[in-house]
Amino acid sequence: MTRLLLIGPPGAGKGTQAERLSSAFDVPAISTGDIFRFNVKNDTELGLQVKAFMDAGAYVPDSLTNAIVSDRLQQPDATKGFLLDGYPRTQEQVLELDRLLEADGDALDAVVLIVADTEEVVARLLKRAAEQGRADDTADVIRHRLSVYEEQTSPLIDVYSSRGLVVTVDGLGAVDEVTGRILAALTGRGLSVPVTSVPVTSVPVTSVPVTSVPVTSGDAASAS
């Protein structure tokens, strides 16, 4: 079994590497953002709950996000391992993930931290914004987004570093090179990487969507 957490700033290629690692270790890539978007787009019960917070400009509360992840980790394809992308994002979510894994006698194997030069990331995101016609994504907006990322993830990185779980990888360079660095770092931690996974080709990952998670009263008050 392989249980990984992937952390990286916008524009560092985290999504691409999530797909590749998912393929390499034959585990599902679980993105809370993807689950949210799927359900909002399809007007599911969960989607309506999430949309209500988004429309109000509020964070989706930890209680709802935790319920989503708990449900997803109980799906059959996640019993042999998983790669988490976008969760946990708060210290309360870290504790909840600990509880979920400990209940089954499990724990994270590693936390992959992808780092990249800020100026390079800004340049990448500006180019992407121009290609996609997103005029609102200015350099100032992107820098603010990166600042928020640093503020949110620093406490999590500190927690996982204190547990000796973090492997830091340079996210700049060719996609294959970055994948190779990550796999080498994980191998150095004793994780067994299938020989056939190198080099890894980009394979789309289909996440099993969560369609309904009940929200108890008071959840909104726990938004963070």
Q: Are 108 and 165 in contact (CB under 8 A)?
A: yes
Q: Which entry of 41, 99, 134, 163 is annotated as an active-site residue?
A: 134
Q: Are 186 and 112 in contact (CB under 8 A)?
A: yes
Q: Are 143 and 126 in contact (CB under 8 A)?
A: no
Tokens representing residue 96 in the block: 């909840």
* Measured distance CA(26)–CA(22) in Å, rounded: 6
Q: Are 114 and 7 in contact (CB under 8 A)?
A: yes
Q: Which entry of 145, 163, 181, 189 is annotated as an active-site residue?
A: 145
Q: Which entry of 3, 72, 89, 181 is annotated as an active-site residue?
A: 89
14 a catalytic residue? yes
Any idea what DSSP says for residue 173?
Answer: S
Q: Tell the residue number behind the tokens 């059959």, with chain if given.
A: 76
Query: DSSP alpha helices (H): ranges in 163-193?
Result: 175-188
* Measured distance CA(197)–CA(27) in Å, rounded: 12
134 a catalytic residue? yes
Tokens representing residue 196 in the block: 């056939």
Q: Which entry of 37, 51, 124, 128 is annotated as an active-site residue?
A: 128
Q: What does DSSP say about strands 29-31 and 166-170: parallel, antiparallel, or unpaired?
A: unpaired
Q: Which entry of 3, 14, 20, 72 is annotated as an active-site residue?
A: 14
Strands (E) in 138-221, as ranges, are: 166-170
Positions marked catalytic? 14, 89, 128, 134, 145
